[in-house]
Amino acid sequence: MTTFKTTPFPASAARTGITTGPGPLPPPRRTTFAVTQPTASRPATAPSSGGAGRMSIADIAAAVSNGPLPFRLTAYDGSSTGREDAPFGLHVANRRALTYILTAPGDLGLARAYVAGDLEFRGVHEADPYELLRLMADGLHLRRPTAAELRDIVASVGLRTLTPVAPPPQEATPRWLRTAHGLGHSKKRDSSAISKHYDVSNGFYEMVLGPSMTYTCALFRTADATLEQAQEAKHALVFDKLALTAGDRLLDVGCGWGEMARYAARRGVRVLAVTLSRQQAEWAQKAIVREGLQHLAEVRHLDYRDVTETGFDAVSSIGLTEHIGVRNYGSYFAFLQDKLRPGGRLLNHSITRPSNSSRYKTQAFIDRYVFPDGEITGSGRITMAMQEVGFDVRHSENLREHYALTLRDWCANLKENWDPCVQDVGIGTARVWGLYMAASRLSFERNEIQLHQVLAVKPGPKGNSEVPLRPWWSG
pLDDT for position 15: 39
In angstroms, the CA 397 to CA 393 distance is: 12
Neighbour count for residue 407 (Cβ, 10 Å): 25
**Bridge partners, 65 (sequence order):** 142
pLDDT for position 31: 33
The SS3 call for residue 89 is strand
Residue 372 CA: distances (Å) to CA of 194, 214, 228, 432: 8, 20, 28, 14
In angstroms, the CA 222 to CA 218 distance is: 12
pTM of the model: 0.87
In angstroms, the CA 270 to CA 313 distance is: 10
Q: Sheet harboring 119-122: ordered strands across?
A: 80-81, 72-75, 89-92, 119-122
Give 403-415 as a DSSP string.
HHHHHHHHHHHHH
Residue 11: exposed, middle, or buried by beta-carbon count in 10 A (0-12, 13-18, 19+)?
Answer: buried
- The closest alpha carbon to 268, from 241, 242, 246, belongs to 246
In angstroms, the CA 91 to CA 71 distance is: 10
For the domain spanning 189-457, the CATH number is: 3.40.50.150
Q: Where are the domains of the chain?
A: 11-162, 189-457
List the alpha helices (DSSP H) in 327-399: 329-339, 364-369, 379-388
Specify the amino acid at residue 283.
Answer: W
Give 11-42 as a DSSP string.
GGGG-S---SSSPPPP-S--SS---PPP-SPP
pLDDT by position in tens, the chain (length 475) = 444 445 566 554 443 433 323 332 223 333 333 333 333 333 334 444 444 469 999 999 999 999 999 999 999 999 999 999 999 999 999 999 999 999 986 789 999 999 999 999 999 999 999 999 999 999 999 888 889 989 999 999 999 999 999 999 999 888 766 565 555 555 665 555 556 555 678 999 999 999 999 999 999 999 899 999 999 999 999 999 999 999 999 999 999 999 999 999 999 999 999 999 999 999 999 999 999 999 999 999 999 999 999 999 999 999 999 999 999 999 999 999 999 999 999 999 999 999 998 777 777 888 889 888 889 999 999 999 999 999 999 999 999 999 999 999 999 999 999 999 999 999 999 999 999 999 999 999 999 999 999 999 999 999 999 999 999 999 7
pLDDT for position 34: 31
**Bridge partners, 8 (sequence order):** none
